[in-house]
Structures are given as C-alpha cells and as structure tokens.
Amino acid sequence: MLKLSRGQSITGRLLDVLTLLRVACKRGAHTDRVRFKVLVDAHGDGRQCATTVGLWALIGPGNTVAPVITIMLERED
C-alpha cells in the first residue's frame, strides 16, 4: 500500500472520494453530473489543517458503451 504521510494512503484517500461520490449520486439520482466536496490534509502532516476541495463527476458511456465515471476538479472539464 502506497503511503502519503502520517497514516494516510492512496487507497484510503480514494475510498473517501468514492464514498462521498456515492452520497452525492444518491442526492442527484436523475442526472449525469454530480458535484461534491472532500476535505484533504492541506500540508500532508496530519494536523488539523484541512482544505475543502470541490470535485464533480460525469457518468456516461465509455468506448464500449459500458458506463464510465470520470471524477474531476471543479475547474476541469
């Protein structure tokens, strides 16, 4: 498991993002786009300095028509 710092891991961070995406999808059940926010450790040192990062996800067909979820920062498209 790849560690970021002070007990954080890429796997754990991804699980947090996907969990919050799931909650946002339940709220916006009839749309292909959802917006949500996550708290991240701003300095990577485990202190109480969290920054809110806005994300959004687009759910649509991929190259094989199977559903694909793309997660981006608010300013990306």
What DSSP element (H or E) covers 11? helix 10-27
Collapsing DSSP states into helix, strand and coil, what is residue 16? helix
For 44-63, what is each residue's pLDDT tens digit? 666 667 788 999 999 899 89
Is the model more confident about 63 or about 10?
63
- Residue 17's pLDDT is what? 92
Task: Name the residue with tokens 């970021």.
Answer: 4
- Residue 44's pLDDT is what? 64
Q: Return the percentage of the chain with pLDDT > 90, whole number.
A: 38
Question: Tokens in use for 21?
Answer: 């995406």
Q: Interior CA angle at 54 toward 53 and 55, to 5°?
A: 115
What DSSP element (H or E) covers 60? strand 50-61
Q: How many residues does the chain have?
A: 77
- Residue 56's pLDDT is what? 95
Is the model more confident about 28 or about 26?
26
